Amino acid sequence: MPRTLEGQITMEKTPSYFVTREAPARISAMSKDTKLIVVVRDPVTRAISDYTQTLSKRPDIPTFESLTFKNRSTGLIDTSWSAIQIGIYAKHLELWLRHFPVGQMLFVSGERLISDPAGELGRVQDFLGLKRIITDKHFYFNKTKGFPCLKKAEGSSKPHCLGKTKGRTHPEIDPAVVQRLREFYRPFNLKFYQMTGHDFGWDG
């Protein structure tokens, strides 16, 4: 990590930290005071999005439905498939809570980042002890992307939107498979809500 001067905050992001078994102990060994921000979204949507990303690189992969099940007739979900496994947030969080108190972690709703980016980033700024500088006036909603974009990036006069890998159209998934996944994730989601003290509303 770069040297951090007095009054500076050093940040680093890697999505795979949350699901990498060795990461909590390593980060704790580096600094027990590290503040951790975890962005989560509905695990069913997350799995479909993960699949969509892979499909764009490898169009010949099997269907989402066939990858989801170990056995379709019994409805047994294949938890070894990373697209499914990553969304079992409660399981991953258990490892982190062995090294960090839950108060040192902020769980950001991916859905609210889209519907209310300034509000969700307000929580981030509060958590980091920063003055609330980012407000609604910094964003506009891009209909093509389906995401909010920054009106202009730092040091640029042009608006800044997420790259072309974000906001891809998801393939049509069999509603029965989506329903089965909702049932599968429900107990894990409820446990995650209890662990974080926050109901993300994924089970509505």
**pLDDT tens-digit profile of 161-196?**
766 656 567 788 999 999 999 999 999 999 999 999
159 inside domain:
no
Query: Would you state the pLDDT for residue 164?
Result: 61
8 inside domain:
no
Say which range, 64-73, 128-137, 154-163, 179-188, has the weakest mean pLDDT.
154-163
Q: Is the pLDDT of residue 65 over 70?
A: yes
Rounded CA gap, 174 and 76, in Å?
16
The overall average pLDDT reported for the chain is 89
Query: Would you state the pLDDT for residue 204?
Result: 59
28 inside domain:
yes
Q: Is the pLDDT of residue 140 over 90?
A: no
Q: What is the pTM of this model?
A: 0.87
The string over 90-112, giving b where at least 16 C-beta atoms fall within 10 Å of a residue's C-beta and e elsewhere, is bebbebbeebbeeeebbbbbeeb
Tell which phi-psi region holds residue 82, choosing left (phi > 0), alpha (psi between -120 and 50) or beta. Answer: alpha
Instruction: Tell me how many degrees the CA angle 35-40-43 measures, rounded to the nearest 5.
Output: 150
The answer to whether 24 and 95 are in contact (CB under 8 A) is yes
Query: Would you state the pLDDT for residue 50?
Result: 94
Domain with residue 190: its CATH number is 3.40.50.300
Known binding positions for 3'-phosphoadenylyl sulfate:
41, 49, 166-170
pLDDT for 23-57, tens place per residue? 999 999 999 999 999 999 999 999 999 999 898 88
Number of domains in the chain: 1
Query: Would you state the pLDDT for residue 154?
Result: 65
The string over 36-59, giving b where at least 16 C-beta atoms fall within 10 Å of a residue's C-beta and e elsewhere, is bebebbbbbbbbbbbbbeebeeee
Q: Is the pLDDT of residue 128 over 90?
A: yes
Q: Is the pLDDT of residue 63 over 90?
A: yes
In which domain, by residue range, is 49 found? 17-132+174-196
**Mean local confidence (pLDDT), 108-126:** 92
Query: Would you state the pLDDT for residue 70?
Result: 92
151 inside domain:
no
Known binding positions:
41, 49, 166-170
7 inside domain:
no
144 inside domain:
no
187 inside domain:
yes
Q: Is the pLDDT of residue 72 over 90?
A: no
